Structure 1
């Protein structure tokens, strides 16, 4: 089913605050770039705050890709939480150093972000590059500490969270986080490009009306 941008916004409306949406994609696509832009426009249209968790400069890559499409400054006014990286994109409100031990990293992340989310009110929170943080984890113990940290944000009724996950990176890690993130997420989608559109398959959702459905949206509508 080919959807207009407004119809995609209506689909995002069906995601309740407190939910976590996992959107999986492959490296050789512009899926994260276009979906990040689409979600920002959705947040603006609904008058929600837009917050990006930028892990290891992934937002910089997205921003530069969009410039190639002729879209400049797409995230200049976005509230950004940076973990690692050096490239500044948007309004950086918090910085967290990359730590090999989640027991050290997670408390630092919580302290850096607690005020950001509380002041923002209702927000759309896009998380990019999280799979790269998992690359620093080598033991099952640390892996599950990290998973518990992600799981702890589920049910935060001030945000709708969208985790954009690069499968090619995640599947090549010593411990693949995707199965656990699929378990945690309330909604799971696969997104892949096809010529001038992006196809989305809903694999898991609390809304039975969209379970197993395929949706498409045109790149021209976004750009």
Structure 2
């Protein structure tokens, strides 16, 4: 595990919600791999919220890159979608009433989180979830997904979002997601890694800092 990556993961304190914004690239794949490495090394459970089959797509990309990964020790909360990857411990079927869907999602995520005193929670595909709201109330309820877990010291949450998609949904939703998150990191790819810009952070040493993370391959 690269020392700088190790340091960056640990800069997110228990109870925090970190928004990781990326541009189209393989950043999601390598972010997942680094969090899995950290989870294995530190013996801290990794819980993945897989919204609408986002994890299977990322897993397929990793395989296409020639990297072999065992997902069996990753706990997965599956919301929508049909393709199983990892140890699926909770499943939330899609419901046409967004309020019911969000309530079921929150209940399932809470039950899984309560099983562990300390866990890393990676949320994938939330931008697909954010496409669903059709009214101001629906938007509020969706943002509440992020807000309700803020301060839950059983988890350190990383929300990995495609910035281009997020910006195209709604400026209001984008600004609200950033407001709720305790840490906001812009992840910009370059040929051998990514540049991480901390535009919002509870860690004053990282606020405004740009960190270059070398992966050693094309992103």
User: Normalising by structure 1, what TM-score?
Assistant: 0.91
| CA RMSD of superposed structures (Å) | 2.0
Q: Which structure exhibits the higher relative contact order, with contacts defined as CA atoms closer than 8 Å and separated by 6 or more residues?
A: 1
The answer to whether residue 48 in structure 2 is matched with residue 52 in structure 1 is yes
Contact conserved, 1:121 with 1:158, CA < 8 A, in 2?
yes
CA drift at 1:121 = 2.5
Question: For residues 174 and 210 of structure 1, do their structure 2 counterparts lie closer, same or farther at Cα, with a shift above 3 Å needed?
Answer: closer
1-structure distance, mates of 2:170, 2:95: 17
Contact conserved, 2:146 with 2:181, CA < 8 A, in 1?
no
The answer to whether residue 17 in structure 2 is matched with residue 23 in structure 1 is no
Aligned length: 219
The equivalences for 1:27-46 within 5 A come to 28-46=24-42
Contact conserved, 1:23 with 1:188, CA < 8 A, in 2?
yes
CA drift at 1:204 = 0.5
User: Normalising by structure 2, what TM-score?
Assistant: 0.93
2-structure distance, mates of 1:184, 1:75: 30
Which ranges of structure 1 fall in alignment gaps of 5 or more residues? none
- Per the alignment, residue 9 of structure 1 pairs with 6
Contact conserved, 1:135 with 1:174, CA < 8 A, in 2?
no
Runs of 4+ in 1 over 4 A off after TM superposition: none
The answer to whether residue 141 in structure 2 is matched with residue 145 in structure 1 is yes
2-structure distance, mates of 1:165, 1:219: 20
2-structure distance, mates of 1:141, 1:119: 31
Moved more, 61-70 or 124-133: 61-70
CA drift at 1:76 = 2.8
What per-residue deviation string (whole Å, max 9, x for no partner) do you get for residues 83-117 of structure 1? 11111100000111223443211221133233311
Moved more, 35-44 or 50-59: 35-44
The answer to whether residue 100 in structure 2 is matched with residue 118 in structure 1 is no
The answer to whether residue 68 in structure 2 is matched with residue 72 in structure 1 is yes
Which ranges of structure 2 fall in alignment gaps of 5 or more residues? none
Question: For residues 121 and 176 of structure 1, do their structure 2 counterparts lie closer, same or farther at Cα, with a shift above 3 Å needed?
Answer: same
The equivalences for 1:182-193 within 5 A come to 182-193=178-189
The answer to whether residue 211 in structure 2 is matched with residue 215 in structure 1 is yes
CA drift at 1:142 = 0.8
- Per the alignment, residue 91 of structure 1 pairs with 87
1-structure distance, mates of 2:156, 2:96: 27
What per-residue deviation string (whole Å, max 9, x for no partner) do you get for residues 37-89 of structure 1? 11121122222110000001110111011112222234232100011111110
Contact conserved, 2:198 with 2:206, CA < 8 A, in 1?
yes
